[in-house]
Amino acid sequence: MEAMNTISQVLLALFAIYLTYKFLQAIRLVPNQYAHIVERLGNYHKTLGPGFHALIPFIDKVVYKQDLREETIEVEPQECFTKDNVKVEVDGVLYLSVMDPVNASYGVTDYRYASVQLAQTTTRSVIGQMDLDETFEERAKMSMEVVNVLSEVETLWGIKVHRYEIKNINTPQTVQRAMEKQMTAERERRAVIARSEGVRDSRVNDAQGRRAEIVNISEAEMQRRINEAEGWAKEIEAIAEATAVSIEQLADALSKPKGKEAMQLQLKEKYLRVLEGLGKDENKIILPKDISNYNALMEGLALDDLNSEEKK
């Protein structure tokens, strides 16, 4: 009898502990950026936001706890074939967050796994439409395609895909060696082109320098000749003006009294000085027949005729 009483007391104590646990379990403290999905008798009842909440024991039950913060999900490496039948291994990182906790709980079994699978299949499809060289150049395009495909199921799954980044695109060793050889050949080709362009530019610059030098020299020579011609012209003009002035002064002198006698006196002096130098050996000249007849020479100058004409 005592054994039965002991057993019943133990059962009552366990039942009391269970009730206490259930009542305590009905009290919920939801952290910030979290959402708890509550079912009542197996059906969706409400979503608990951050804060304190009291549920009905044995009737209400928290079945899902959703984290509303942005998540970083690793997309495992997968093998893909490009358009030119090259096998590459691609992995990436997916950034998403839960926007609708209800759809994230009931719209899909596991939105994380589903998002990763959809990202992988989309990546394979996009890479299959590109050549190997394009896959390295069009990473942004591939990422955008994955985001666009996932955006079609955002409402159904209650998530928001922010971005998808491709981490690595690995190629086989044979392809890497071939690409290295191609890059080496391309660098050598660019180096040859750069050297040839440098030589061409150097020759062009030299030719332009020589041409500019020749032009400068020719312009300087032209300017020198112009200056000399202008100088000669001014000199001839000055001589002509001086000659004209001297002729006018000579004419004025001859028209004055005793002008003729003064002119004849000067001519005689010059004539005598010329005769003094005729005896030199280096002089070779043609002389009149009678150089001593000075009066005949003076008559040839017709000074008397000039005076008579001026008097008239």
pLDDT digits (tens, 9 = 90+) for 94-103: 999 999 999 9
Helix (H, G, I), strand (E, B) or coil at 288: coil
**How many other CB atoms sit within 10 Å of the CB of residue 265?**
10
Q: Please give the radius of gyration of the chain, using alpha carbons only, rounded to the nearest integer.
A: 61
Asked if residue 35 has pLDDT above 90, the reply is yes
Q: Which domains does the chain have, with CATH numbers?
A: 2-67 (no CATH), 71-171 (3.30.479.30), 256-278+295-312 (no CATH)
- State the pLDDT at residue 220: 87
Position 26 scores a pLDDT of 81
Q: What is the pLDDT confidence band of residue 312, given thresholds at 50, 70 and 90?
A: very low
Using one digit for the tens of pLDDT, what is the confidence trace for 224-247? 888 888 888 888 888 888 877 777
Which of helix, strand or coil describes residue 93? Answer: strand
List the Cα angle 178/184/187 in 5-degree steps. 140
Instruction: For residue 193, count CB atoms less than 10 angstroms from its CB and return exposed for 0-12, middle for 13-18, buried for 19 or more.
Output: exposed
Q: What is the pLDDT of residue 271?
A: 66
For the CA atoms of 183, 184, 188, 193, what is the dihedral angle to 10 degrees? 0
**What pLDDT, in 10s, does the model give residues 108-162?**
889 999 999 999 999 888 888 888 878 877 888 888 988 998 899 988 999 999 9
Reported as type and span, the H/E element at residue 173 is helix 173-255
pTM over 0.85: no
| Chain segment 46-62, per-residue pLDDT in tens | 999 898 888 888 888 88
Question: Cα–Cα distance between 176 and 312 in angstroms, integer?
Answer: 121
The residues near 9 (Cβ < 8 Å, ≥ 6 apart) are none
DSSP structure class, residue 94: E
